[in-house]
Chain A
């Protein structure tokens, strides 16, 4: 790479990829070197010939002399030890930063009694996100999580970070705007929008993006229909992005410190993609044109970028001061969830972070939707081997007769028959066909492959639950597996009535999800008692020093 300038206005240009000089390399090297021909009395100077540039850039020994850049960024970042690094080259962490100096804003979240935890957000950040039509508070908090992920992206390379999925219930409600805002805050520039049109085309665009763009965001805007892409699945969570340069056999390789952002309306995605996601849902009832932003969020992001970044850095710093406590949120990107969950937890937002996952999965996860359709079909067309009704459900016995859509006549029979429960994947094929599940895959497949397709679907959905509406109540159907004769895998649904927890249980949780420490008796815990213990040893120590 060739560094031009430095500080806030510096930039990098690629001189060689895989030791092969780029076409413009010689021109850039002319800034450093010139070629002289002649002797001491008469000589002529010329710019570096491309062949000499190519030889220089192919030299291993020259490369060893150059400083290594592990991460290049357009704004200050936290290094691997969470030290805040400003503009310049940082040899110890091998970070090169071209960007403005940013001061983390000291952040001390304080909540008044009864206030929503979101009211404790730093002011600029709160103002930036204030007017979006969040489906729930959890979606709002996930947007903060997305910005924090972008700020800390260099920490989530070997341990992956999720794809930010911005979903809207209709068009024109601010999904793209939210993506743009993330780009403006993180990089100070408009993020290039990449369309999801064909795998090869997508790969070319991504290659070009990581080679030349100043943006640390991969912004897949307005994905229509279904979010299905092998390129995304292969790369989004990979530690290294590697793409072949068009027309050559060389590859561009970059650490995956990019924030992947996808926007879509009523998103549908396979489980594999969805479980790698951070869902942010926007929702407007009625005509979105009637709901305008009174402020100008994009202009606000541009104008207050440094302060917003300072506030985000301040949230991270506040978490550091608390000793880096880890969150306990469950996500496929485990380390990411523990870090971001920890930061948001210290900001009082831990209870909301990822709080929309189940609800979003029920809407967006295609596989889960297929499973729900299958469960509904099975409940409407009951077969003894396909459904198991556990005897006791949520402290109340649910008899087969109380099953709204049928079931064994006597629940005792169902339990007795539990050992005979389940069918192998192959015997489920007719059920799938009648229910219209996986029709696109089963329709064209030869009959032998159909069992494999159903088996593959079941293997990834085992132990996953779906909620099925069955008037007058809701049922939870969980796909279960047990081993039959010859260790054959048999699949069936376990059905339970869904029961809401009593109101008193939910009311005990305070606004930010933290239980009242006084109520739990923590204030009188062993440490407090210990701290109150008078020092052993009797007389107070003698501090007096004799100075003269």
Chain B
């Protein structure tokens, strides 16, 4: 059995919240359905990903509808429905979010939470991290190109972590899981098949792992930058990072 198929359903009933465990390489995480009575479950950082109705490539101005979101940190993961996401984000408003392609996830989540809460304020505060942007900036800094077209989550996980994150999996009916979340829009998490839930849960786990690996690599790259032409001194570099983010991440985002 491939490691990514090693999904263990922990519970499934209408009365109890949904729970499952996913594995990516050697990393495992238990995911449970989050309900507002659980309060804060993550501290300073967490990775989050959204699953939506099919993206209309011909009409990019149309924001797809959120079906579910998944989030995790070092110890645990949570499954979020449309109904619980606003409360979750409110309770975790002072944590930092890590996404892969944050522009998309923020747009989708902002649509659900409405005008009462502004996720983009977190961007201004430097509390949204995008592994897609970091990956491309790191590539630009160390390899001289921006890894354009090769910075999807699956490609980044493969290149940076050496793990396979399959994206072309199919459900029991032979339909692509990646593009098939639309059929579960408006339905409770308990009605979404495990294959789809585990597909959704693997992405924040991959994003979480990717972020910390990129962090280490970017840190090393910055440490080596003392030899690069234009480097001034340590406090100048610290100031650049404070103002623009590491490798200008905040500005790019």
A residues contacting B by CB (< 8 A) are 80-84, 86, 92, 101, 103-104, 106, 317, 320-326, 527, 530-531, 533, 535-537, 540-543, 545-548
Contact = CB atoms under 8 A, between A and B. Distances in A.
Contact of B87 (A530, A545, A546, A547): A530
A325 B222 contact: no
B111 interface: yes
A101 B56 CA distance: 12
B215 interface: yes
A384 B37 CA distance: 62
Given A547-B222, A548-B237, 20 more contacts: A81-B54, A83-B56, A92-B179, A103-B58, A103-B59, A104-B62, A320-B53, A322-B65, A323-B186, A324-B186, A527-B36, A530-B36, A531-B90, A533-B39, A537-B40, A540-B94, A542-B44, A543-B45, A545-B215, A547-B238
B62 A317 contact: yes
A143 to B, nearest CB: 25
A320 B62 CA distance: 11
Contacts of B180: 81
B222 A104 contact: no
Interface in B55-103: 56, 58-59, 61-63, 65-66, 82-83, 86-87, 90-92, 94-96
Nearest to B182: A81
B158 interface: no
Contact of B182 (A82, A104, A322, A533): A82
Contact of A321 (B87, B91, B111): B111
27 contacts: A81-B53, A81-B182, A81-B183, A82-B53, A82-B185, A83-B54, A84-B59, A86-B58, A92-B176, A104-B56, A104-B59, A104-B62, A320-B53, A320-B65, A321-B65, A323-B185, A323-B186, A324-B65, A531-B87, A533-B39, A533-B91, A540-B94, A541-B43, A541-B94, A546-B219, A547-B218, A548-B234
Contacts of B95: 541, 543
B5 to A, nearest CB: 23
B134 to A, nearest CB: 11
A536 B40 contact: yes
Nearest to B56: A84
Nearest to B108: A321
Contacts of B183: 80-81
Contacts of A317: 62, 65
Contacts of A545: 215
A250 B94 CA distance: 69
A547 B246 contact: yes
A15 B50 CA distance: 46
B208 to A, nearest CB: 14
A541 B127 CA distance: 12
B61 A535 contact: no
Interface string B180-224: 101101100000000000000000000000000001001100110
Nearest to A325: B186
B241 interface: yes
A540 to B, nearest CB: 5
Given A101-B58, A106-B61, A530-B36, A548 B182 contact: no
Contacts of A546: 219
B197 to A, nearest CB: 17
Contacts, number: 97
Nearest to A84: B56
B12 interface: no
B39 A548 contact: no
Given A84-B62, A101-B58, A548-B237, A535 B185 contact: no
A321 to B, nearest CB: 5
A35 B70 CA distance: 60
Given A82-B53, A103-B59, A541 B65 contact: no
Nearest to A535: B40
Contacts of B215: 545
Given A83-B53, A317-B62, A321-B65, A543 B182 contact: no
Contacts of B243: none
A531 B91 contact: yes
A91 to B, nearest CB: 11
Contacts of B53: 81-83, 320
B167 interface: no
Contact of B91 (A86, A535, A543): A535
B58 A537 contact: no
Most B CB within 10 A of own CB, among A103, A533, A535? A535
A320 B238 CA distance: 45
B219 A548 contact: yes
Give me the 3 closest cross-chain CB pairs, A-B, nearest first. A324-B186, A81-B182, A541-B44
B72 to A, nearest CB: 16
B175 interface: yes
B159 to A, nearest CB: 22
A322 B185 CA distance: 10
Contacts of B241: 547-548
Contacts of A86: 58
A527 B62 contact: no
B179 A320 contact: no
A162 B159 CA distance: 55
Contact of A535 (B39, B62, B66): B39
A299 B61 CA distance: 29
Interface string B142-172: 0000000000000000000000000000000
Most A CB within 10 A of own CB, among B111, B185, B238? B185
A533 B90 CA distance: 9
A93 B76 CA distance: 37
Contact of A323 (B65, B222, B238): B65
Most A CB within 10 A of own CB, among B66, B91, B127, B234? B91
Contacts of A322: 65
A534 to B, nearest CB: 9
A536 B54 CA distance: 37
A103 B61 CA distance: 9
Contacts of B246: 547
Nearest to A530: B36
A178 B130 CA distance: 52
B191 to A, nearest CB: 13
B185 A324 contact: yes
Contacts of B83: 323
B185 to A, nearest CB: 5
Contacts of B44: 541-543
A527 B87 contact: yes
A82 B183 CA distance: 8
B129 to A, nearest CB: 9
Given A92-B176, A547-B241, A536 B222 contact: no
Contacts of B186: 323-326
Nearest to A104: B62
